[in-house]
Structure 1
Amino acid sequence: MPHRRVPLRAATAAVMAGIITSALPTTAQADSSPGLPLHSFGRMVVANGHIFISGGSQADTVLVTDLDGRTVTTLSNEPGADGLVASPDGNTVYAALSGSAAVAAISTVSLKETARYATPGVNPAYLAWTGGKLWFSYSSTSTTGSWPGIGSMDPSVSPAAVALKQTQESWSTPPDLAATPGKPGLLAAAELGSGWAGVYDVSTSPATTVVNADVPSVSSTSSLALTPDGADLILGSQLFRTGDLAPDGSYPVQSYARAVAVAPDGTVATGMDASLPSENTVSVFAPGGSVLLNAYNYTAPVTEVIPTVPPSGLAWAPDGHRLFAVTENDNNGYVTLNLHVLLDPEVAPSRLALTPSSARVMPAQTVTLTGTLTSTAPIAAGTVVHVTRTGTSRTSTTPTPLPDVAIGSDGSFTIADATTAEDAYTYTVSYGGDAGHRTATATAQVMVARPASNMQLTYPATSNRGAPLTVTGQLGNAPYPAGKVVRLTKSDQASQGTQLGTVAVNPDGSFSFTDTPQIGGSVTYIADYAGDPGHEPSGSLAFVDVSRLATTLSVTTDARTYASGAMSTITVHLGSTFNGRTVRLDAVPAIGRTVTWTATADAHGNVVEHFRLGSNTAFNASYAGDYRYAPATASMDVGVLATVLEAQAGYTGSKRYGHTLYRVYRAGSLPLMAATVSPNRSGGCVVFRLQEYAQGAWRSLATTSCYPLDRSSSAAVVVNSRKSWAGHLFRLDAVFRGDGAYATTAGAWQYFITSG
């Protein structure tokens, strides 16, 4: 059902409105559009493809929009424009100007005022057209002092013939008027705010009173209308016979009806003064009865602001396919006006429901589905719904038409379909609708398939090689026919998919088998059931870890540390095995790529490889195992030395003691030694060690903390010498503490002596 919203731009900050077009009886969304260029609402009439909206007795404009609610023009200088009515041919809209004692004629073609007819001494309020004349209710101007009454005007003569007091009754206030083209000469009147009403035959002059009474059940009239045949007068939501104003039924509304409008075919719309968010704003009823066709709730979904329909805030398009409703919100004097355009409100929504008798059906069974077609307006028995069946990729995804099905008097129907192909099917029922009912569709899913056999296996997680093990199985949805078997296969290190034969299925779906594995390691048993006419196929797996003996595996190298660039010799030794003698060796250097060898152990169980070392390296050996021996791993880490270069500075000379070169420093000077590590290990650190030769041996004097290497991979230390050291022998070296790539490396000792 279409629903759209059209904005109107506001001319004042105090009044806002939006346009909402809707044909769905659902909660409308809050408007975000600017407002109608009106301070208040008076009356609304639809003619010649336009909507004419007056602002009431305190306004001086008439707004004109198109049928989608978009503003076309605004007529100004229409003082007190309130009551509106269209001429029978729809070419003219008449506006009661209560502020200037006149009636304005507005062309629905040019959208301009074409004439203004004076009503001397009275201010017209509300209008109706019947019996070839324009009828108006009025109040007196300040100069006359007469009671309010009902007058007539014939715009077809010039000057227009105006006659006052055309009914004999006196009114406290100008009554609202109603007429219907289906009963020419019939005029109804009702005082707003009271229960006083009258019905007149205006085909005579003066008018003849048919009935005039205070209607007991109506305490406060807000709006009135006549049914198309003129048989009933509708006051709010109640019907009264026009012959005697006796009650003649009512419409089941949720709250007080402030507005009522009748379509040419007799469809009735009521606009409500809702007080709860759940109450409908507009209700539409079928002709000649009280069947609710559609309901519209325009309560704001978040703020729950409840809009109301002002008196006479409803109007039908002449063709009866659009209903226009004005709603207003008054928030502490800040009034929001919204115009809602309801498409096809006279067409009742239809609802289809479809339910399968079973969601899963055997291929030989008939698929049975039941459904209902319902509506707010009765649907005739025998009305047909169309049925299709659509499969998945297992059959065909093209819908297959099935025979149409007729509904019963209660709207129910049954579908019976026999299909043997196993598949997941979607059944779709559709109703094409008619002039009074909308289309509807419903779907249901049915699986046509045999019951699942759902095989489950129970087995040991581990078992010893050469020992029997038992696997038990269970198929679901028993019983099972005699002679059915489960086919068995086995996969292990020696072979894949070895056929073990079959095992019988018991009537309760149980089965078991025993096997004695001769190959160790992971063994997989596969059980398959091919299915039967009453069960789908199924299968399952059993995974058993069969024990194997342990073997030995070791990795050795010809050294634990090496100079950078040295060639290492790696020996992998493999112990006893059965039928596998292949080992794998990975050299994983800290810097550089991994090198892998795969080789067969020699008669002594050895595999020997060589690897040139550039950084610390891990040698990892692995044996994958064989039929009787389990996998094994071993590893060995070796270190690679960095190069530590040292240099002294600040010495005054050199001197040899034996074969050792000493640098000579003055007593009290500050010997300095720098160390550089290569390759560049910036971020690493070195420790400096100072020793003195005393009592025939080198003895430690001091060890520094680990000095960080700068970006050039260098660090330096200054020795605070003392004059008392004169003639003593000292030595100093730097030790690279190592990192993930290189092992701890000590530089050469640097010797020095201080002179007196």
Structure 2
Amino acid sequence: MRTRTLPAAVATAALFSSVALAAVPAAADTSTPIGVDSVIDTVVDGAHQHLYISSGNVISVADYTGKVVTTLTGLSGVSDLQLSPDGSTLYAAVPGADKIVAFDTATLTQTAEYPTGDRTAPRRIALTEGRIWFGYGDQWESGLGKVDLTTDPAAVTLDLAGDHDFASTPMLYADPANPDTLVALDGGISSGPIVVYDVSSGTPAIRVTANEGGFYRDGALTPDGQSIVVAGPGNRAVTEYRLSDLQEVHEYPVKDEPETVSVAPDGTVAATALDTENTGDTYVFPGGADTPASVRNLSNEWMPWSGHSTTWSADGTQLFVLTGRSGSAQFNVVAEPRKYVTKLTADAPATATRAKTLTVKGTLAAGLMPPAGTPVSVVRTDMLSPSGKSLGTKALGANGAFSFTDVPPAGGTVRYTVTYAGDAAHTPASASDTVAVSRATPALTLTNNGKVYDYGKNVAFTAHLGTTYSNRTVEIWADPYGADKPKKLLKTGKVDSHGNLSATVNMSRDTAVTAVFKGDSQYGARTVKSTAYAHAKIASSLSKYYRTGTIGSTRYYYFHKKTDAVVTTTMTYYKGRKERLDLQVYSNGKWYTTDSEYFALGTSGKCIVNLGHPGTSGVRARVRAAYIDPSSGDNVNTTTYGAWSYFYFTN
């Protein structure tokens, strides 16, 4: 498995620091949910920009962003995957069907299948020229077999483990760079060794074997095919062993138990660890390094790893790491895996005074610190420079610290953004912080607050703006009472030479009028409000009278004593509005209220009420309609009393 898809690249030399790394994500890294169950194996197809992921009974085919473009189904318990050296064929071990199947990578259609025998359950595969080697069986019934593709039909041979008795299905590795060698890891027991076979004759012969701790979790061959790097057991390192004699070549230290490993074409080693403290789980080491170039924290789960879930892109420029379990798997792309990850912080004071000196501090952190004097660029964004104004560059100190002073010319929210451009060994980083810089409070007034006006009167509201710096524009808004009338901008413009701006409101309702100044670089925003009140429009008339006349100086409507007096009221309509009728009778020189009652208005605003008749003559009465805020059902207008209508009953 894990066969490279491109020739080995030439690695450039790198420097390494003993400084501990902070586990932080690089800016260009991405994490995307992907709908797969626990991962068994992943293989990269560089020609088609695909990742093949075996999980459950399917192979998911994903692109380099983690989007699953299709699935290959009906593969019972599909396990190991392997790409042919020319990249044209994908081989998959299908233990639930006792076979190995082949797919055309261009069409993703099955082209062949190779039954391995009843209840053989092949789980692990590796390729050498013309042969598929497979590990099969379970526990002590495990073995090594091959499918010889040079015969027609392909010939299957079992029981090729030689003198070694596998305690579990052997994990197999081969590489075209070392075509006569097959490596098997006996990973299911603590005493399980690494076994190196010579397969040049077609029949495996043990070349060397050594117990290196067993319980191997994962492995990957180096680009020259001369060494294997294994993850596990819990020695807090992934370890490289030379295949010629299985002597240890190098240890790549990780903080916790190693889980997966993958080697790039240039020899860069990527490994994941259990990470019980959630401080960093994915390590990248240039080949032969003692310290990782970067550590990412890609998962917060207790047990995020399954199978071979870490692999490099075909050209070795990106690292793909699958984390999580069924239903919560994430497809992580580490975009610049070889670079030291940098983290930049910026700390500005929470508040400051305009035109006074303030200080911004910060630090840049990385596993390998850039040298003292390395520049970071600074940009200030404020009301005078909304697109940002460069403040030049500032130099890092020996410990990565920096500080600078500035005199903010503008008030309001001022943002300082510090950027490190990165270099061949470091990722770029950026950080920013904001300062609330004080501004003066401008004088702003608005006329007519609390005044009451007749219905329909046009009233001018005048805003007066005091001293400001650059902005002389004021907005005047009207917000009529009632949910059916939205707030409306009446006028916006510069105030005149006296600082005034006026707008007219037709007072058909109570209205909240606001004047808004949005501020400038030296004076803050301000809003003032005036609430003016409007009477309702009320008109009443009596009907069924037979004449009019005056009693004293007051005009009366005359009714026969047995004729009902009817009053018709028209009032400004609002949904749910009621009028109040007040009825009074004159007796012994005074008016006495006999009734006050609310009546609903029609949608036209009209209401007709029969007041009845007294049946006797000589009765003097009066009636009026009123809108009472809010007893009439709303608060859209201010309380308004209509005029009294006087009437007199005769014989």
Q: Normalising TM by the smaller chain, what interval?
A: 0.5 to 0.7
- 2:556 maps to what in 1? 644
SS of the equivalent of 1:711 reads: strand
| Equivalent position of 2:421 in the other structure | 432
| 2:400 is the counterpart of 1:411 | yes
1:340 aligns with 2:309: no
The equivalent of 1:486 in structure 2 is none
1:90 aligns to what?
87
Residue of structure 1 in register with 2:254 after alignment: 252
User: Which secondary structure state, in structure 2, belongs to the residue aligned with residue 261 of structure 1?
Assistant: strand
* Alignment of 1:170 onto 2:67: no
Mapped partners of 1:678, 1:267: distance in 2: 95
Alignment pair present for 1:687 and 2:599: no
Give the CA deviation at 1:716.
0.6
1:347-362 mapped onto 2 (5 Å cutoff):
347-354=339-346
The within-5 A match list for 1:538-553 is none
Tell me how far 1:267 sits from its aligned partner. 4.0
Larger radius of gyration: 1
Q: 1:162 to 1:404 in 2, by over 3 A?
A: farther
CA distance in 2, matches of 1:589, 1:78: 82
Q: Distance in 1 between matches of 2:293 and 2:392?
A: 34
Cα deviation for residue 134 of structure 1 reads 4.5
Q: Is the 1:81–1:98 contact (alpha carbons within 8 Å) kept by the matching residues of 2?
A: yes
Matched, 1:315 2:311: yes
Select 1:234's aligned residue among 230, 234, 253: 230
Kindly provide the amino acid, as one letter, of the partner of residue 353 in structure 1: T
Whether 1:148 and 2:126 are equivalent positions in the alignment is no
Q: For residues 611-646 of structure 1, what are the alpha-carbon distances to aligned partners after superposition, in whole Å with 9 as ceiling and x for unaligned?
A: xxxxxxxxxxxxxxxxxxxxxxxxxxxxx9753334
Tell me whether 1:732 sits opposite 2:618 in the alignment.
yes
Query: What letter corresponds to residue 265 of structure 1 in structure 2?
Result: D
TM, length-normalised to structure 2: 0.56
Shift of 1:308: 2.8
Correspondent of 1:190 among 185, 194, 210: 185
Written as runs of structure 1 = structure 2, the 5 A alignment for 1:396-545 is 399-400=389-390, 402=392, 405=395, 407=396, 410-412=399-401, 428-443=417-432
Deviations, residues 643-679 of structure 1 (Å, cap 9, x unaligned) = 3334445xxxxxxxxxxxxxxxxxxxxxx47667899
What's the secondary structure of 1:174's corresponding residue? coil
* Distance in 1 (alpha carbons) for counterparts of 2:619 and 2:117: 127
Q: Specify whether residues 87 and 395 from structure 1 end up closer, same or farther in structure 2 by C-alpha distance, changes over 3 A only.
A: closer
Matched, 1:128 2:126: yes
In the alignment, is the contact (CA less than 8 A) between 1:685 and 1:737 conserved in 2? Answer: yes
> Is 1:387 the counterpart of 2:361 in the alignment?
no
Q: Distance in 1 between matches of 2:219 and 2:330?
A: 20
Deviation at 1:126, TM superposition (A): 0.8
Q: CA deviation at 1:401?
A: 6.3
Per-residue deviation at 1:283?
1.7
Aligned equivalent of 1:483? none
In structure 2, give the amino acid aligned to 1:126: R
Distance in 2 of aligned mates of 1:270 and 1:151: 29
**Secondary structure in structure 2 of the residue aligned to 1:684:** strand
- Matches of 2:66 and 2:131, distance apart in 1: 27
Contact 1:682 1:711 in 2 (8 A): no
Query: Which residue number corresponds to residue 293 of structure 1?
Result: 294
Secondary structure at the counterpart of residue 614 of structure 2: strand
Per the alignment, do residues 183 and 428 of structure 1 end up closer, same or farther by CA in structure 2, a change over 3 Å counting?
farther
Cα distance in 2 between the residues matched to 1:355 and 1:126: 54
The 3 A distance-change label for structure 1 pair 101 and 744 is closer
The verdict on how the C-alpha distance between 1:204 and 1:404 changes in structure 2, with shifts beyond 3 A counting, is farther
Contact in 2 for aligned 1:394/1:423 (Cα 8 Å): yes
TM-score by length of 1: 0.50
Kept in 1: contact 2:27–2:429 (CA 8 A): no
Q: Residue type matched to 2:142 in 1?
A: P
Structure 1 position 28, deviation (Å): 5.8
In structure 2, relative to structure 1, the CA distance for the partners of 1:408 and 1:232 (3 Å cut) is farther
Equivalent pair of 1:645/1:747 in contact (CA under 8 Å): yes
2:254 aligned partner, one-letter code: P
State the Cα distance separating 1:311 from its structure 2 match: 1.9
Identity rate of aligned residues, in percent? 22
Q: 1:283: which partner in 2?
A: 282
Say whether the 8 Å CA contact 1:155–1:161 is kept in structure 2. yes
Task: Output one character per residue of 1:89-136: Cα deviation in whole Å (capped at 9) or x when no partner.
Answer: 322222234355544333222323334456568553212245x46463
Supply the AA of the counterpart residue of 2:86: D
Contact 1:127–1:137 under 8 Å retained in 2: yes
Separation in 2 of the partners of 1:591 and 1:78?
Answer: 83
Equivalent in 365, 380, 386 of residue 374 of structure 1: 365
Measured in 1, the distance between the counterparts of 2:285 and 2:398 equals 19
User: Map of 1:565-584 to 2, 5 A cutoff?
Assistant: none
Aligned residue for 2:219? 224
Aligned to 1:265: 266
Distance of 2:350 and 2:584 partners within structure 1: 82
SS state at 2:123 partner: strand
| Greater relative CO (CA pairs within 8 A, separation 6+) | 2
Distance across 1 between alignment mates of 2:296 and 2:266: 18
CA distance in 2, matches of 1:231, 1:28: 32
Deviations 1:29-79, CA, capped at 9 Å, x for gaps:
8x5x7x45x8x75422122322223346xx4x5443433444444445656
Q: Distance in 2 between matches of 1:293 and 1:201?
A: 35
Write the distance in 2 (CA, Å) between the matches of 1:248 and 1:210: 21
Decide which of 176, 198, 202 is 2:198's aligned counterpart.
202
**Contact 1:298–1:307, Cα closer than 8 Å, also in 2:** no
Aligned equivalents of 1:113 and 1:104: distance in 2?
7
Supply the RMSD in Å over aligned alpha carbons.
5.5
Q: C-alpha distance in 1, partners of 2:397/2:142?
A: 58
| Maintained 8 Å contact 1:686/1:715 | no
> For the residues of structure 2 that align with 1:212 and 1:438, how far apart are their CA atoms?
42
Alpha-carbon distance in structure 2 between the residues aligned to 1:115 and 1:88:
17
**Candidates 717, 724, 743, aligned match of 2:614:** 717
Q: Distance in 1 between matches of 2:161 and 2:430?
A: 57
Report deviation, 1:187. 4.0
Alignment coverage as a number of residue pairs: 475
TM-superposed deviation, 1:198: 0.9
In 2, Cα distance between the equivalents of 1:673 and 1:364? Answer: 86
**AA in 1 matched with 2:342:** S
Q: Give per-residue Cα distances to partners, 1:695-714, cap 9 Å, x unaligned.
A: xxxxxxxx994598993675
Q: Which residues in structure 2 correspond to 1:569-648 (within 5 Å)?
A: 643-648=555-560
Deviation at 1:322, TM superposition (A): 3.7
Structure 1 counterpart of 2:102: 105
Query: Residue 682 of structure 1 contacts residue 713 of structure 1 at CA under 8 Å; is this kept in 2?
Result: no
